[in-house]
């Protein structure tokens, strides 16, 4: 989150304009700059690096300054403790499904859905991960009632 004193007590528009605007340590800019880099300097001995970590700046696929700033701003706007910004809907679906589903889980999903979500739940997850699924007509309230 932003280190400034812009928090959930301020109105949305104030948070939108001023939230997350830190002074850039390197340049002194009062707005965070866009970083036009896709890879970053590594330590002399990178053998201890976690190459999958999003904590440091290794490669933009793992995360970078622009993504981190966007996530901070979005979390601040929604009074959320954190946020994840992904590059596509399929990345978001995969992130949610791979984070929360495990073998033996059961997913109930609309039979009228985005094709990527359908293929993940209907084709990939049952065969590869043992996740069961039920597709329902979500326009019928009785089919989704618990």
- Please give the tally of structural domains in the chain: 2
Q: Are 68 and 121 members of one domain? A: no
When pLDDT is cut at 50, 70 and 90, the band that residue 2 belongs to is very low
* 132 contacts: CB under 8 Å, gap ≥ 6: 104, 105, 106, 107, 126
Q: Are 68 and 99 members of one domain? A: no
pTM above 0.85, yes or no: no
Q: Are 80 and 96 members of one domain? A: no
Q: Which residue has the higher pLDDT, 78 or 143?
A: 78
Quote the domain boundaries for residue 100.
89-144
DSSP state of 42: P
Tens digit of each residue's pLDDT (9 = 90 or more) over 77-125: 998 998 988 888 888 998 899 999 999 999 989 999 889 899 999 888 9
Q: Are 75 and 94 members of one domain? A: no
Q: Are 61 and 107 members of one domain? A: no
Q: What pLDDT sits at residue 1?
A: 39
Q: Are 8 and 59 members of one domain? A: yes
Q: Domain end: 68, 85, 102, which one?
A: 85
């Amino acid at each position: 989150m932003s280190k400034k004193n812009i928090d959930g007590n301020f109105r949305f528009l104030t948070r939108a304009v001023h939230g997350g605007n830190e002074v850039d340590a390197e340049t002194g800019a009062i707005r965070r700059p866009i970083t036009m880099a896709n890879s970053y300097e590594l330590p002399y001995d990178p053998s201890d690096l976690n190459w999958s970590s999003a904590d440091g700046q290794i490669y933009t696929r793992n995360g970078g300054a622009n993504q981190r700033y966007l996530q901070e701003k979005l979390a601040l706007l929604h009074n959320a403790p954190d946020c994840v910004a992904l590059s596509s809907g399929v990345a978001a679906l995969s992130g949610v499904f791979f984070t929360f589903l495990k073998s033996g889980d059961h997913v109930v999903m609309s039979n009228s859905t985005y094709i990527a979500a359908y293929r993940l739940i209907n084709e990939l997850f049952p065969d590869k991960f043992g996740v069961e699924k039920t597709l329902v007509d979500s326009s019928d309230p009785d089919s989704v009632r618990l």
